[in-house]
Amino acid sequence: MNSDNGAAIETEGLEFSYIDGTKALANVSIRIPAGKKVAFLGPNGAGKTTLFLHFNGLVKPDRGKVYVAGKEVRYDRASLLEVRKKVGIVFQDPDTQLFSSSVKQEISFGPLNLGLSREATEQRVRQAMEDTGILDLQDKPTHFLSYGQKKRVAIADILAMQPQVLVCDEPTAWLDVKHSRQIMEILDRCNARWVTVIISTHDVDMAYAWSDYIFVMKDGQVISEGVPLEIFADREVLQEAELDEPLLFKLSKELAGKGCLKEAAPAKSVEELIGRIVNMDYSLANLCKQGKQLCHGKGNNLSIDIEDVECYCKQVKDWFFKSGGDDFMKKGVLVLGHGSRRQAANEELSKLVEMVQAEMGVRTAPAYFQFAKPSLADVVESFVSEGIEEIIIVPALLFPGIHLMEDIPQALEELKLKYGEKVNFHLTPALGADPRLAEIIMERVQSAEKNLLQDRD
């Protein structure tokens, strides 16, 4: 095995069964990259904890090999001591790890066992307590600590050993949002010093946002591995491992699908998602450059800014020709506004209708969802009475009206049911965006995240 292959830990054909015959690991061969933040996901009983116990020789495999920094793990006392200098494990329940009478004494145990001097031990212990924010607890008895404090002391225990690899079994289990965030910040600081950090978790949102690499386990086997975007894009793996898509992953995909984000990898943090929304160029000219096409049927409810009506109308014309020749007499454009008691809203919509009419040379009329007349149903009825067989509905989100993007598809389905084969309806991207669209979406993102955190509590 090459010690310079960039792997912190490797396993080859690892197998292990408990004394009662339970098969915990089955032919596990993995390579954990050095210096990365790595998460293991999977249902209870998948084998994550058992695998972790093999990483520093706490458990000896029935078959297979474990390598740490390229060197095979041997199970004599001297070899295991060297392995445990490099790989430290923090257990899920800190009460199984803490036993000394005070915090400082607890953290001093490991370095003293390594044979370090009192002075060197004192330096390491103080640094570990500073890193985990527990300096003020150093003289407190461990059995008087809160659960979150015990978690931090357990991590400090291992950090005082200055390992190359820090392994944490469900580090945020049973912690509230505040203390979970504190634990993950500690792990981030460790990783910033080139410590490989390995965790197990059931929190897909945290794993997605935090990790560089993910392993998915089921029934003692690794069924998938890869970067977070690869893992959570694989529906079959998620279903097999009983995992959900992370909230940010879902939101990014939904917003991209509705044209509210550029087609790019899903955001990995709320801040990144908000930044993309704020910086999104909703201008029609930009969308034309990207080759955005009109959407037939229920549509994508895309919202854009009216900067280039000529460009937009050219797309509509192109669609007209593709959909059945140039007989405009049987085609019409319905510009759908939010409807407002403000005169300015109605005047602006009328201007848009005039511009489209001038460019298209086709029957064009305004309609409203609420407050103003004519309504969507009124204009459709008028078009049908004139013998128009193809109706393009163009949403014009001129004023706050995000509900339009939710209600239009439903209204379109109702129209289809009413008119049957007489009329074909088509929904295009919107012509004129609500300038506060990004702000509204941001509020929804933050609200969704807040609700998710409340559900966890």
Q: According to the CATH classification, is domain 7-244 in 3.40.50.300?
A: yes
Structure confidence at residue 70 (pLDDT): 94
In which band, very low, low, confident or very high, does the pLDDT at 316 lie, cut at 50, 70 and 90?
low
224 Cβ contact partners less than 8 Å away, ≥ 6 residues apart? 215, 216, 231, 234, 237, 241
Q: Once rounded to an integer, what is the mean pLDDT over residues 48-60?
A: 97
For the cut 70, the answer to whether the pLDDT of residue 447 exceeds it is no
- 382 compared with 271, residue with greater pLDDT: 382
What are 273-288's pLDDT values in tens digits?
877 776 665 444 444 4
Structure confidence at residue 271 (pLDDT): 80
> How far is C-alpha 11 from the chain's CA centre?
29
In which band, very low, low, confident or very high, does the pLDDT at 402 lie, cut at 50, 70 and 90?
very low
Per-residue tokens: 261:
């984000």
145 in helix, strand or coil? coil
Measured CA to CA, the distance from residue 40 to residue 18 in angstroms comes to 21
Q: Would the CATH topology of 7-244 be identical to that of 283-432?
A: yes
Structure confidence at residue 332 (pLDDT): 78
Structure confidence at residue 159 (pLDDT): 96
Q: Once rounded to an integer, what is the mean pLDDT over residues 339-355?
A: 62
Structure confidence at residue 407 (pLDDT): 61
In which band, very low, low, confident or very high, does the pLDDT at 437 lie, cut at 50, 70 and 90?
very low
- 45 compared with 434, residue with greater pLDDT: 45
Measured CA to CA, the distance from residue 45 to residue 89 in angstroms comes to 19
Which fold, 283-432?
Rossmann fold (3.40.50)
- 15 compared with 317, residue with greater pLDDT: 15
Measured CA to CA, the distance from residue 147 to residue 174 in angstroms comes to 9
For the cut 50, the answer to whether the pLDDT of residue 297 exceeds it is no
Phi-psi region of 393 (alpha: psi -120 to 50; beta: other; left: phi over 0): beta
The structure's pTM equals 0.66
Mean pLDDT rounded to a whole number for the chain: 80
pLDDT over 70 percentage in the chain = 70
Sign of CA dihedral 82, 88, 93, 94: positive
- Ordered by start, the domain boundaries in the chain are 7-244, 283-432
- List C-alpha distances in Å: 140 to 91, 99, 107, 435: 21, 13, 12, 56
Q: Once rounded to an integer, what is the mean pLDDT over residues 430-447?
A: 46
Residues 85-97, buried b or exposed e (16+ Cβ, 10 A)? bbbbbbbbebeeb
Structure confidence at residue 376 (pLDDT): 82
Structure confidence at residue 334 (pLDDT): 76
- Indicate the residue type of 388: I
